[in-house]
Chain A
Amino acid sequence: GAVVSQHPSRVICKSGTSVKIECRSLDFQATTMFWYRQFPKQSLMLMATSNEGSKATYEQGVEKDKFLINHASLTLSTLTVTSAHPEDSSFYICSVLAGSTDTQYFGPGTRLTVL
């Protein structure tokens, strides 16, 4: 399967600051990437679909101005949590769509803690 990395794996920040999370597709070019968040002991919730070279598509209820997504290349998508608050603390996971197999491959996740 595809190899997907995320950086950082863990980040702690102060309330009001912004945090950028990177998602990289290491072994193939990804036109489409997805961003999910996962609360403790819960399932994944899709936040947005990131398309290379165009604006991301956000799920209902996800603030696009708070969760900025940039997919500037075929191997990199970034999620920036702006003006983070404690309620933004969560596990953020990205995935890459392998178009040839119609399968999503997931990164290892980023644990965000906002103090």
Chain B
Amino acid sequence: AQSVTQPDIHITVSEGASLELRCNYSYGATPYLFWYVQSPGQGLQLLLKYFSGDTLVQGIKGFEAEFKRSQSSFNLRKPSVHWSDAAEYFCAVGNNNDMRFGAGTRLTVKP
């Protein structure tokens, strides 16, 4: 069965610092991988996705993620965090009809 693990429940970084949010998955085949961001009381916005090809994926808002098959990971990175990046981040794995979400990582940005 497929599953997603986000080891960090809450991360705090200073504005301007770099960010890495971890995501590990378990999946029987080549996965489709996604990162979504959710602001309080809002729906989810797609940041980026990986289906195949180049393992380094560029997304919106300056985010990128790298698929590492050997580590079953799909970590999200941003070189310089902005205060507006404070939100909940969800990693997801799956296909059209069966998408599984991680528990989420809440990002706090210190001034």
Contact = CB atoms under 8 A, between A and B. Distances in A.
Interface residues of A, number: 25
Contacts of B63: none
A43 B90 contact: yes
A1 interface: yes
Nearest to B46: A1
Interface in B7-48: 32, 34, 36, 41-46
| B interface, over-half SS | strand
A43 B101 CA distance: 7
23 contacts: A6-B43, A32-B96, A34-B99, A41-B106, A42-B103, A43-B90, A43-B101, A43-B102, A43-B104, A44-B90, A46-B99, A97-B96, A99-B96, A102-B51, A102-B95, A103-B34, A103-B46, A104-B46, A104-B99, A105-B46, A106-B46, A108-B43, A111-B41
A77 interface: no
A41 B39 CA distance: 12
Interface in B87-111: 90, 95-97, 99, 101-104, 106
Interface of A: 1, 4, 6, 32, 34, 41-44, 46, 49, 91, 93, 95, 97, 99, 102-109, 111
Interface residues of B, number: 21
A106 B45 CA distance: 7
Nearest to B103: A43
Nearest to A99: B96
Contacts of B46: 1, 103-106
Nearest to B100: A46
A41 B106 CA distance: 9
A50 B51 CA distance: 24
What 4 A-B pairs are tightest by C-beta distance, nearest first? A106-B44, A106-B43, A108-B43, A43-B101
B90 A109 contact: no
